[in-house]
Structure formats: C-alpha cells, structure tokens
Amino acid sequence: MEHSTGKIVKNTIVFTIALLMQKAIAFVNFLFLSSRLSPETLGAYIWALSFTTMFSIGADLGLSFIMMRDVAKDDRDDEGYFQNILGLKLPLVLLTLTVCLITLFATKHDSQTIALVLVA
C-alpha cells in the first residue's frame, strides 16, 4: 500500500499536537493539585501515581505500538488488529489490576494511601 507524504505529515502533526495537549493538561492538573493539597498529601498522591504507573506497563506490554506499526504497514485489516489487541489487553488489564491490588494490600499502607492508589 502506498502512503502519501501529505498524509504522513498530517498524521505526524496531529499526533504531536495531541501529545502536547496531553502534557499541557497534565501540567495544569498538577498545578491545580499542588496548590490545593498539603505537602504530605501531595507526596502520597505522587507515590500513588508512581505505584500505579509501575503496574500499568503490564496492562499494555507494547501492544499499542505493535498495532500502530501493523496498521501503518497495511490498513486493510485494521479492525482485525484492533480486535486482537483488545482481546489481549482486557485480560492483561484484569491481571495487572489484580496484582496491583494484591501488592497494595500486602504492603499494609494507611487508608489515605490506599484510597489515592484506588483513585489513580
């Protein structure tokens, strides 16, 4: 399949704008939280985000990038790729969530930290 240069440039620009918007929203969110939370609560929140981010790797395992690569090569079966990736991701998300919760409750954190991890 032929890819036009214009389509590649357009898609790259849209992807870059989406990444910039995501970073800007995350910055505004953190600015808002840091002005409203006490240092102890903000530290617990950052720890909760770090804890959940560590486990979020298991929910994806790079499958999103594999799908993007394969659809970019040949988009005739993009729905099939999506269904296959989704079929793999759903059990991975459930397994990762289970392992995350078991680890969280096994390490015996206080109720505030547990609530922050559950929200994250």
Q: Do 59 and 93 touch, CB atoms closer than 8 A?
A: yes
Rounded to two decimals, the pTM is 0.67
**Please, which pLDDT band fits residue 116 given cuts at 50, 70 and 90?**
confident
Structure tokens belonging to residue 74? 């040949």
**Please, which pLDDT band fits residue 83 given cuts at 50, 70 and 90?**
confident
Burial of 120 (0-12, 13-18, 19+ CB in 10 A): middle
Residue 27 shares a structural domain with residue 67: no
d(CA 96, CA 101) in angstroms, rounded, equals 9
Residue 56's SS3 state is helix
Check residue 1 and give its pLDDT. Answer: 52
Report, as an integer, the average pLDDT of 102-108.
88
Residue 48 shares a structural domain with residue 81: yes
- Local structure of residue 110 (DSSP, 8 states): -
Residue 18 shares a structural domain with residue 42: no
Residue 29 shares a structural domain with residue 45: no
Q: Do 82 and 72 touch, CB atoms closer than 8 A?
A: no
